[in-house]
Structure 1
Amino acid sequence: MLNSMFSGITGMKGQQTKMDVIANNIANVNTTGFKSQRVRFQDMISQTNANAQGPNNNGRGGINAQQVGLGTQVAATDVMMQGGSLQFTGRALDFGIQNGDNSFFVVSQDGGQSGLMQYTRDGGFYTDNAGNLTTSNGFRLMGYTAANGELVPADSYNQDTSLQGELTALSIPQVRDGLTLQDYSVDSTGTILGTYSDGNAYVIGRIALSNFSNPDGLEKAGENIYNQTANSGVPQFGGPSDDGFGVVRSGFMEMSNVDLATEFTEMIVASRAYQANSRSITTSDEMLQELINLKR
């Protein structure tokens, strides 16, 4: 009976963890690019009262082991990396990744000076007063530019050779070489095209994406940011529309992939499971009380 009480406690703790995850999913139903989580359980070690035995030479058949489980524990909190729906915003610096559940934007807190990269699915970017492309919390968007950040005339641009080298922080300069920016756009390959005061179009840079062999292994760091871990694999960098990478859609934002119908259903299941586990504790307590009453 004491085992049953402790089994009930493990069940209640597990369902509380599940409820915590469900509540977090619901709280982030409108968070840009949020990936929902789920909780999986596994049974704990079982107490073996009798070992299994095979048939003997006297003709007696085999018997199975007698085991009593000692409760449950959380096996994993999986991240559901399926892409969310793209919502139209019409804003030029809103980007959504399409057909690339393993692809992430690459950002850096210091513009890549330390070499430390972080990753996000939140495609809402901004420009500061220096023209730098940043996230809402000031992280710099990383990508590819020409040597020395020079502007490449659009009519001589080659996607395979014009922008190469290490990742650098992207910016959209308002004034460059005496030319003033008139307008800019971003196509599905992540190429930033600007029109300057001389009437010509120039390629400013190209947004970079990263792929992971195991994106489920990424660590959530808050602020819609993911960190690389030992189990996520080494990031593979490339550009939108490259082989194995997603396509960038300018003017769209990726919404949360939380399914409220599923979350509310799981909430009911967790509530009833919590209630049932609490009943096993109270029932075990009543049985112990009856045992104590035998003394009277």
Structure 2
Amino acid sequence: MIRSLYSGVSGLRSHQTRMDVIANNISNVNTIGFKSNRVNFEDLLYQKAGQTGVYPAYVGLGVAVSGIDTIFTQGGLKATGRPLDVAIQGNGFFVLKDPTTNMTYYSREGVFYIDKNGYLINSHGYRVQKVNGGDIQINNPDQVVTLNIKNDGTIELIYANGTTDTSNQIGLMNFKNPETLERVGQNVYRTTTNTSSSFAQPQAPGQSGLGTLASGFLEMSNVDLASEFTEMIVTQRGYQANARVITTSDQMLQELLDIKR
């Protein structure tokens, strides 16, 4: 009975973690470039309770969370008509560098702006990196009359005097195991010691297995509300069942105490 109590407690804790992850997925259903998380369970240690015929008898000691992984499936695209809104169709991440800390981050969110110095940045001031590395900087942005980002990441600028500049090209990075990327909030990731990159430096979109870019579009969250609500119901029932195990075990202990009296 004591084992069943602790097994029930482990079930409550694990299902609470699963509910927390589901809640976070649902809350980010409209977050640009968000990738949903999934909780995986594993059974805990087993205690041998004897021998029944040919097969040994074991009693399990509950459940634990084995991992919380990220599902990097493609999200739907939303048309915005804004040239500096860029979506990735396929594999890859935008490479962003924090000019203050020099830290490098990766993101699927393509909401970009041009700052006062002409740098292409995201909403937090991180600078977008170009092919083979380096900040993307636009010269004389106040003189640009037309800006177009092509599928291969090339930024085509047409100035008021009629000249054209195509020297900047947005680069992408890809990883052999993107599930090992660490989520740090603000729609960005950073590498860990277990992350293996396919390239040493950002590469051109559309090459080496990388996706292409779509200017005037944004990649929406890949959260499937129907699946999340189904998982919520299943998680709730699992939580209730484990709570019932604790209640029933407590009643059995109470009956044992009543026998003692």
Give the TM-score taking structure 1 as reference length.
0.84
1:93 paired with 2:84, answer yes
Q: 1:171 pairs with 134, 137, 141, which one?
A: 137
Q: 1:255 pairs with 202, 220, 241, which one?
A: 220
Cα distance in structure 1, aligned partners of 2:73 and 2:255: 53
Aligned to 1:65: 56
Cα distance in structure 1, aligned partners of 2:117 and 2:167: 15
Asked if 1 retains the 8 angstrom alpha-carbon contact of 2:150 and 2:215, the reply is yes
Aligned to 2:127: 140
RMSD of equivalent CA atoms: 1.6
Shift of 1:169: 0.7
Cα distance in structure 2, aligned partners of 1:284 and 1:266: 27
1:265 paired with 2:230, answer yes
1:223-253, CA deviations, whole angstroms, 9 ceiling, x for partnerless residues?
0010001222135231111121110000000
Q: Match for 2:215: what amino acid?
A: S
- Sort the Cα spacing of 1:99 and 1:10 in 2 relative to 1 into closer, same or farther, 3 A: same
Shift of 1:197: 2.8
Structure 2 unaligned blocks of 5 or more: none
1:53-84, CA deviations, whole angstroms, 9 ceiling, x for partnerless residues?
xxxxxxxxx61011000000001111000010
Q: 2:210 pairs with 231, 235, 245, which one?
A: 245
Aligned to 2:96: 107
Count of residue pairs the alignment pairs up: 259
Aligned to 1:57: none
Aligned to 2:254: 289
Aligned to 1:120: 107
Q: Which has the larger radius of gyration?
A: 1
1:77 paired with 2:72, answer no
Q: Match for 1:242: what amino acid?
A: Q
Aligned to 2:154: 191
Calculate percent identity across the aligned residue pairs. 45
Local SS of the residue matching 1:265:
helix
Q: Match for 2:42: what amino acid?
A: Q
Structure 1 unaligned blocks of 5 or more: 53-61, 145-165
Local SS of the residue matching 2:22:
helix
